[in-house]
Amino acid sequence: MTLWWIGNAILLLVVVPVLVALLNRVLAALERIRAATDDILAGGVALTGELDDVPEMLAVTDRTIRDVAVGATRYAGSVAKLLPDQS
Please state the domain extents for the chain: 2-82
Rounded to two decimals, the pTM is 0.49
CA triple 50-55-47, angle to 5 deg? 15
pLDDT number for residue 85 = 77
**pLDDT digits over 43-82, tens only?**
999 888 888 888 888 888 999 999 999 999 999 888 888 8
The rounded mean pLDDT for the chain is: 89
**Which of the pair, 7 or 21, is modelled with greater confidence?**
21
Mean pLDDT in residue range 36-41: 96
Query: Is the pLDDT reported for residue 87 higher than 70?
Result: no
Within 13 Å, how many C-alpha atoms sit on residue 23's CB side?
6
Please give the Cα distance from 63 to 60 (Å, whole number).
5
**Which of the pair, 87 or 85, is modelled with greater confidence?**
85
pLDDT number for residue 34 = 97
